[in-house]
Amino acid sequence: MNQAIRHSWVAAIAMFALIFGAISYVQVIGADELKANPWNQRAILQNYCNDRGAIIVGGSPVAESVEGTSETCKFQRTYPQPEPYAGITGYFSQNFGATGLEQAMGEVLTGNSDQLFLDRVGQLFLGNQPKGASVELTIDPEIQQLAYSLIPDGQRGSIVVTNPKTGAILAMVSKPSYDPNQIATQDPDAETANINELLKVPGINLNPNVSGPTGELLAPGSVYKLVDTAAALASGKYNKDSVLPNPAQMPFEGIQYTLPNYAGGNCYTRDTAGFAFALQQSCNTPFASIALDLGRDAIAEQAEKFGFGEDMGDQLKLDYARGNGFPDDLDAPGLAQSAIGQKDVRATPLQVALMTAAIANDGVQMRPNLIKALRSPDLRVIDEPQPQQLRTSTTPEIANQITEWMVSAVSEGIANRAAVPGVQVAGKTGTAELGNGTNNSWFTGFAPANNPQVGVTIVMEGVDITTGAQLTSPNAKRIFEAVLNK
Amino acid sequence: MSQLSTTPKPRRNVELALLLLALAVGIGANMLVGVDQEKAFDSDFWFQSSLLAVAALVFHGVLRFRAKYADPVILPLVVALNGLGLAMIHRLDAPDADTGNNQLRWTLIAMAVAIAVIWFLKDHRVLRRFTFISLAASALLLILPLIPGISAGEILGARVWIRLGPMTFQPGEVAKITLAIFFAGYLSSNRDLILLAGRKVGPLQFPRFKDMGPMITAWLVSIGVLIFQRDLGSSVLFFGLFIVMIYVATSRISWVVIGLALILGGGFAASRVFSHVELRISGWLNAFTPEVYGRSPGGSGQIVQGLFGMANGGLVGTGLGQGRPDLVPFANSDMIIASLGEELGLVGLFAVVLMYLLLFTRGFRAALGTRDAFGKLLACGLSFAVALQCFVVIGGVTRLIPLTGLTTPFLAAGGSSLLANWIIVGLLLMISHTARGPVDTTPLRPGEATESMGIDTPTEAVKHS
């Protein structure tokens, strides 16, 4: 009998061994996976009332935790300049989680990042309240405010301002925007009511992954001709003196459809054109013919090298849309339309900005970077991302050649309203027809052309030709001036 | 083994020292849970702490007087677990809730009943006379929740509660004790028949059909509970209890084989026939799929939230009062293990599980040491029941096995569970008292039969004490 009792005890011990194993798995081995589960609110809730680090722009916070009035929560998250920065900061909400940098930099802002290990040990022994690290952005507050004000209220649009040499993002705005304070309120009922109200506003998508400069995939129109130009020069079949066919209408075998040049411009004055003229006047048929000549793969490869449909590196921190790159399975008219940034070609404003930055920076695309520095609670710098190359988009020769033509597009062509007196500005406009009589109107460019300090990409969505022309190149000029006169 | 010649020692002072340590754990925890909240040193804290301490010391005094050779580790272990449970329940109480005081009330009632058991029973062997009364009592207790008027109806999908005035009570908890008494009594009387009669098939010796009567009864009780009360956990517990006791009585592994075959077969059939069993199993296997997560009833939200809590606790826990165990449904009862795991971490939860391990180990130790077959079977059965119950609950919370509705002994909020488990402690203490005490070979009283009591030779008993 005693032997059987011992065996029963062994069976009980075996069951407990399984329990010890299961507890170890849940609490240690598999814990990270469980913590990362999207249903797990703890990461947010646990730190919700803590002194979360600030997001800082030019020395002042755009997101910070201040001592609140609530009895249950010591700190309240506030956004002192809500709308211009909402697309970057995102919100920090008890019910709806976090988005934007609030989400991406969560570990740092709560102070849980490994980089803050020593600070945490210090807090442990000193018994201090946990305090998060702050995140300093590359954004220039004056440029950000200016860019935000340049998009009229009620107009959908985005502006991205970069430093082409470092990849630093100086401004990134879009409208319509929202006030993250409404979602960060500690009154759960108000929070839900506010978010439901915001979701009714057309054009507002609270998920930065699908709205604004990083998330909205738009037809790029003629700015895409820069891809064709680079592909043509890289192929060796074309050089700076090549003469391109420039018919007013490009016919296709066997079908009625013809691809036209824009009727309102100066393209119709010539049957053939050099690159300079074709880019200055943004003629369609020369670039369509290049695409048909080189074939789909050559254009797709160049688009990929400019980063369309590709990874943006790890310094942006924000989620972004990649899109699918240049379309597959194109017939001749489809290829011709795609080559001028129409049909199914889509790109985010940030991708277009990166293409331009690569041209400005001798063909080298830098990692887009929003983070200037991470600072521990005692303001010590714990991380300072350095400029890093993302990819080589084209050769310096080709980049400089395209720059020259973009300069002439501003000095002599249809982008002339972007010209800044005394400065060589390189630019390219684009007008992507949306099929309902309105267009996405683009400008992308940089200045000074010989020593680029600033790249500007603007898109205004759903505008007529005149409005688009007013809201793109002239606004680019104001941003160029603002940055260069600093 | 080297203690063959030593005289038995009461070790009551050891118990007192351990008891003070246990109270320090429980009361210290209760203090910590309030530090960061408004509950710090509130009236509830003083009230609960002092009453728990007084009750524990009274219990200790009773042992000094009535069962001075009882195992000195059991009471401190249980007081520590009970104190931790009180602290966690107090911590989880919403400002206007009173679960903590209710738990304390039940703790005091349960301790009083356990003291009464020790005081009036004097010797566990007396219970053997109630073998068949225990069977009847078990049947009655199990049927009670199904009787209209007494039944509290269906609560959370199970019909296991009855109404006692303003309170609800789960008679099944007490039934596990009466069933253990019946099994122990029946098996200690009939083990020879079961052992010797029967056919041998291959390496397995199968008992005669008529000797399998209690086995069949247990099987039917278990299935019956499952069908009528939708209480999966209790049926597993009753069945496991019976398998272990018949195995210990006969030392035949064939019973374990038959039992496991029946339980697997029954479980499989149940999962096919009963939707709530099927829901439990799919909720366990597919816990992380959205449709199962949000499903009601039978969704996995509770267990998944519990896992999140435990993961959040990690190695050392968030600290008492610092986590968010309140996000888990039933955080103070079914999921209290997850709450403790979150705030005490792996380290703290291991300590809690180790306390259970020590507790049932001391129970098995009493089973080894006591000299009568009835006492051996009872102590072994009750100890194994505690272990199995912990396994089913903690295994369920950690998603090792499907989650069933059993309570965590001494920790979870709930009066019936506390009462039943304290009675088990009383019985184990009494059995350990005879196990560790001086050998008493005199018959209980004139007329009390000794021939079938299965008294082993004293030497063997001393060997293991």
Output the 3-class SS for A40-65: CCHHHHHHHCCECCCEEECCEEEEEE
B269-314 pLDDT per residue, tens: 877 887 777 888 888 888 888 778 777 666 788 889 899 999 988 8
Distance of residue A74 Cα from the nearest chain B Cα, in angstroms: 12
Compute the residue count for chain B.
465
pLDDT at B465 over 80: no
Contact A1 B373 (CB under 8 A): yes
Nearest residue of chain A to residue B384 (CA atoms):
A12
Q: Is B288 on the interface with A (CB under 8 A)?
A: yes
Q: Is B371 on the interface with A (CB under 8 A)?
A: no
Nearest residue of chain B to residue A39 (CA atoms):
B305
Rounded Cα gap, residues A320 and A314, in angstroms: 11
pLDDT at B128 over 70: yes
Q: Is B145 on the interface with A (CB under 8 A)?
A: no
> Is A94 in contact with A44 (CB distance < 8 Å)?
yes
Of A8, A28, A42, the CB nearest to B308: A42
Rounded Cα gap, residues B374 and B372, in angstroms: 5
pLDDT: which is higher, B356 or B100: B356
Q: pLDDT band for position B157 (50/70/90)?
A: low
Q: Which residue, among B291, B354, B384, would best test binding to A if mutated, counting the most A CBs under 10 Å from its CB?
A: B384
Q: How many CB atoms lie within 10 A of CB A251?
A: 12
Q: How many CB atoms lie within 10 A of CB B403?
A: 25
B46-70 pLDDT per residue, tens: 888 899 999 999 999 999 988 989 9
pLDDT at B243 over 50: yes
Rounded Cα gap, residues A146 and A84, in angstroms: 10
C-alpha pair distances (Å), B60 with each of A51, B67, B121, B430: 48, 10, 17, 13
Contact A16 B387 (CB under 8 A): yes
The tokens for B79 are: 């007081």
Q: Residue B160 in 3-state DSSP? A: coil
Q: Is B361 on the interface with A (CB under 8 A)?
A: yes
> Is A193 in contact with A68 (CB distance < 8 Å)?
no
Q: Is B325 on the interface with A (CB under 8 A)?
A: no
Bridge partners of A258, per DSSP, are A251
Contact B398 A23 (CB under 8 A): yes
Q: Which residues of B touch A44 (CB under 8 A)?
A: none
Q: Is the peptide bond before A176 cis (omega within 30 degrees of 0)?
A: yes
Of A27, A30, A32, the CB nearest to B341: A27
- Smallest CA-to-CA distance from A223 within A353, A417, A310 is with A353
Bridge partners of A411, per DSSP, are none
With an 8 Å Cβ cutoff, the interface of chain A facing chain B consists of 1-9, 11-13, 15-16, 18-28, 30-35, 37, 39-42, 45-46
Distance of residue A61 Cα from the nearest chain B Cα, in angstroms: 29
A364 — phi, psi (to 5°)? -100, 125
Give the pLDDT score at B222: 64
Contact B353 A19 (CB under 8 A): yes
Segment B416-436 shows an average pLDDT of 94
Q: pLDDT band for position B456 (50/70/90)?
A: very low
Of B324, B356, B390, the CB nearest to A42: B324
A377 — phi, psi (to 5°)? -55, -30
The tokens for A406 are: 């973009």
Put simply, the chain B residues between 423 and 442 with a CB less than 8 A from any chain A CB are: none
Q: How many CB atoms lie within 10 A of CB B319?
A: 17
A359-412 pLDDT per residue, tens: 999 999 999 999 999 988 878 888 899 999 999 999 999 999 999 999 999 988
Mean predicted lDDT score pLDDT of chain A: 88
Contact A19 B391 (CB under 8 A): yes
Rounded Cα gap, residues B80 and B101, in angstroms: 17
- Smallest CA-to-CA distance from A172 within A124, A127, A122, A138 is with A138
Q: pLDDT band for position A348 (50/70/90)?
A: very high
Q: pLDDT band for position A127 (50/70/90)?
A: low
Contact B391 A26 (CB under 8 A): no
What residues contact A159, with CB distance under 8 A and at least 6 apart? Answer: A147, A148, A150, A151, A171, A172, A173, A174, A213, A349, A456, A457, A458, A459, A475, A479
Q: How many CB atoms lie within 10 A of CB B360?
A: 28
User: From the candidates A158, A222, A289, A393, which is the catalytic residue?
Assistant: A222
pLDDT: which is higher, B42 or A152: A152
Rounded Cα gap, residues A75 and A83, in angstroms: 21
Q: Which residues of A touch B35 (CB under 8 A)?
A: none
Q: How many CB pairs (< 8 A) connect A and B?
A: 137
- In chain A, % of residues over pLDDT 70: 93
Rounded Cα gap, residues A364 and A392, in angstroms: 5
Site of tokens 């996000």: B327
> Is B244 in contact with A8 (CB distance < 8 Å)?
yes
Bridge partners of A61, per DSSP, are A56
B189-216 pLDDT per residue, tens: 888 877 777 777 776 666 777 776 765 6
Q: pLDDT band for position A314 (50/70/90)?
A: confident
Nearest residue of chain A to residue B374 (CA atoms):
A1
CA angle B291, B293, B299 (to 5 degrees): 100
pLDDT at A231 over 60: yes
Contact B357 A35 (CB under 8 A): no
Look up residue A486 and give its DSSP letter. Answer: -
Question: Is A60 considered catalytic here?
Answer: no
Q: Which residue, among B252, B288, B380, B428, would best test binding to A if mutated, counting the most A CBs under 10 Å from its CB?
A: B380
Contact A16 B353 (CB under 8 A): yes
Rounded Cα gap, residues A415 and A223, in angstroms: 11
Region of poorest pLDDT, from B106-120, B145-159, B252-266, B376-390: B145-159
Give, for B375, the enclosing helix (H) or strand (E).
Answer: helix B373-397
What is the four-CA torsion angle of A61, A63, A64, A65, rounded to 10 degrees? Answer: 170
For residue B132, the Cα-to-chain-centroid distance in whole angstroms is 22
Q: Residue B139 in 3-state DSSP? A: helix
Give the pLDDT score at A403: 95
Of B380, B391, B456, the CB nearest to A8: B380
Q: Residue A256 in 3-state DSSP? A: coil
Contact B308 A40 (CB under 8 A): yes
Contact B398 A25 (CB under 8 A): yes
> Is A116 in contact with A224 (CB distance < 8 Å)?
no
- Smallest CA-to-CA distance from A475 within A196, A257, A155 is with A155
Segment B217-237 shows an average pLDDT of 74
Q: Which residues of B touch A25 (CB under 8 A)?
A: 398
Site of tokens 């039978």: B298
Rounded Cα gap, residues A445 and A454, in angstroms: 9
- Smallest CA-to-CA distance from B306 within A37, A319, A15, A244 is with A37
Give the pLDDT score at B76: 96
Contact A27 B376 (CB under 8 A): no
- Smallest CA-to-CA distance from B73 within B464, B381, B357, B369 is with B357
Q: How many CB atoms lie within 10 A of CB A130?
A: 18
Bridge partners of A51, per DSSP, are A131
Site of tokens 């000794």: B450
Nearest residue of chain B to residue A24 (CA atoms):
B346
Q: Is B394 on the interface with A (CB under 8 A)?
A: yes
Residue type, B85: G
Give the pLDDT score at B418: 94
The pairing of strands A157-162 and B198-201 is: unpaired
The pairing of strands A55-57 and A134-137 is: parallel
Contact B376 A19 (CB under 8 A): no
Q: Residue A340 in 3-state DSSP? A: coil
pLDDT at B2 over 50: no
A170-206 pLDDT per residue, tens: 999 999 899 999 888 888 788 888 888 888 877 777 7
Residues B456-464: contacts with CB under 8 Å, at least 24 apart = B456/A1, B456/B371, B456/B373, B458/B371, B460/A2, B461/B369, B461/B370, B461/B371, B461/B435, B462/B3, B462/B4, B463/B1, B463/B4, B464/A2, B464/B365, B464/B368, B464/B369
Site of tokens 């009670």: B144
Q: pLDDT band for position A14 (50/70/90)?
A: very high
Look up residue A441 and give its DSSP letter. Answer: E
Contact A1 B456 (CB under 8 A): yes
Nearest residue of chain A to residue B350 (CA atoms):
A20
Compute the residue count for chain A.
486
Of B247, B387, B454, the CB nearest to A4: B247
Q: Is B353 on the interface with A (CB under 8 A)?
A: yes
| Residue B291 burial by Cβ neighbours in a 10 Å radius (0-12, 13-18, 19+) | exposed
Give the pLDDT score at B444: 55
Distance of residue A3 Cα from the nearest chain B Cα, in angstroms: 8
Q: Which residues of B touch A40 (CB under 8 A)?
A: 308, 311-312
Rounded Cα gap, residues B410 and B98, in angstroms: 18
Segment B233-241 shows an average pLDDT of 85
B374-413 pLDDT per residue, tens: 999 999 999 999 999 999 999 999 999 988 878 899 999 8
Which range of A50-54, A156-160, A241-245, B4-8 scores highest in mean pLDDT? It is A156-160
The pairing of strands A75-78 and A60-67 is: antiparallel
The tokens for A351 are: 């991708």
Contact A34 B399 (CB under 8 A): no
Q: Which residue, among A1, A39, A95, A110, would best test binding to B if mutated, counting the most B CBs under 10 Å from its CB?
A: A1
> Is B283 in contact with B303 (CB distance < 8 Å)?
yes
Could you tell me where the DSSP H helices lie in B334-372? Answer: 336-369
The pairing of strands A364-366 and A249-251 is: unpaired
Of B251, B388, B391, the CB nearest to A4: B251
B19-40 pLDDT per residue, tens: 999 999 999 988 888 776 665 6
Of A8, A15, A39, the CB nearest to B391: A15
Region of poorest pLDDT, from B57-66, B142-151, B169-178, B248-257: B142-151
Distance of residue A15 Cα from the nearest chain B Cα, in angstroms: 6
- Smallest CA-to-CA distance from B359 within B408, B398, B310, B396 is with B408
Q: Which residues of A touch B345 (CB under 8 A)?
A: 27
A393 — phi, psi (to 5°)? -90, -35
Rounded Cα gap, residues A252 and B49, in angstroms: 91
Segment B441-445 shows an average pLDDT of 55
Q: pLDDT band for position B443 (50/70/90)?
A: low
- Smallest CA-to-CA distance from A252 within A304, A214, A292 is with A292
Distance of residue B419 Cα from the nearest chain A Cα, in angstroms: 23
> Is B201 in contact with B222 (CB distance < 8 Å)?
no
Rounded Cα gap, residues B288 and B126, in angstroms: 52
Of B315, B345, B380, the CB nearest to A5: B380
pLDDT at A53 over 50: yes
